[in-house]
Copies of this chain bind each other. A is one copy, B any other.
């Protein structure tokens, strides 16, 4: 009999869903010292790690597992994270805000408040270019929605080229000529990527390689009408460079679901930065129904001795 410990504020709901599945040889327990398998929130699991006697497999209910891959933590188990379930949720969020920007939803509301019948033209997603900084399973889903709306999709990614909906890939190692042969100017691929975008959506995990990848030079490379969104982790953005870019109108807007400090401190400039919207880390919540299905699927693989889905590489960090 395998023993499962659930560490989540929604543990009851997870237990109910898993019990409904009648999985063979599985018992839900409350004692960390006797469990073989854990399902839960990474921080709660991190706090329990030292007490575990024989953890074999841990399933995170979040995509981001940075608190479990720190080098100081034990790594004597298989870690799997939640993937493949957030794409649709993220598409709703990302396209909701991109469309709100194009349709001028706030501007039209102001016109209504002023009782002005103002027929200024809406912008369109159709024909515009979406850049994905990070093309994992979420990025691939966003790319599919972008195609539905007639957009061009560019992806900047370390290696994977898994989505057919991405029209053009850029990679960190490349240097690209700027299209002016006589100038022989070579720019980093990430700047070449940024220059062609109308929207930049950051969907990166927190790793040392993603720290402040959105810096002053990248913000400088974006067109002035561009809008940036961060739905990954706050570490990816140089926050003071972003404030400068927005206040100086070097870009048109930012929508941030994540920040380096959460909750955002009261004195942080982001609360009042021009054209910046905060959404308080709500872009894609983990729904127990989704994650329980993922756990059930992985549990079947586990007892059959087959490789689990979405295994985390501790070194890489995702």
Contact = CB atoms under 8 A, between A and B. Distances in A.
A255 to B, nearest CB: 10
A125 B280 contact: no
Interface in A260-278: 262-264, 266, 271, 277-278
A106 interface: yes
A285 B121 contact: yes
Interface in A116-158: 117-122, 124-126, 144-145, 148-150
A206 interface: no
Nearest to A109: B277
Interface residues of A, number: 46
A105 B97 contact: yes
Nearest to A147: B148
A119 B282 contact: yes
A96 B103 contact: yes
A158 to B, nearest CB: 28
Given A117-B263, A282-B121, A100 B91 contact: no
Contact of A96 (B99, B145, B285): B99
Contacts of A282: 108, 119-122
A266 to B, nearest CB: 6
A117 B264 contact: yes
A92 interface: yes
B149 A88 contact: yes
Interface of A: 88-89, 91-93, 95-97, 99-100, 102-103, 105-106, 108-109, 111-112, 115, 117-122, 124-126, 144-145, 148-150, 262-264, 266, 271, 277-283, 285
18 contacts: A88-B126, A88-B150, A89-B124, A96-B96, A96-B99, A96-B100, A99-B100, A100-B100, A108-B279, A109-B277, A112-B271, A115-B271, A117-B262, A119-B282, A121-B282, A122-B282, A144-B148, A145-B148
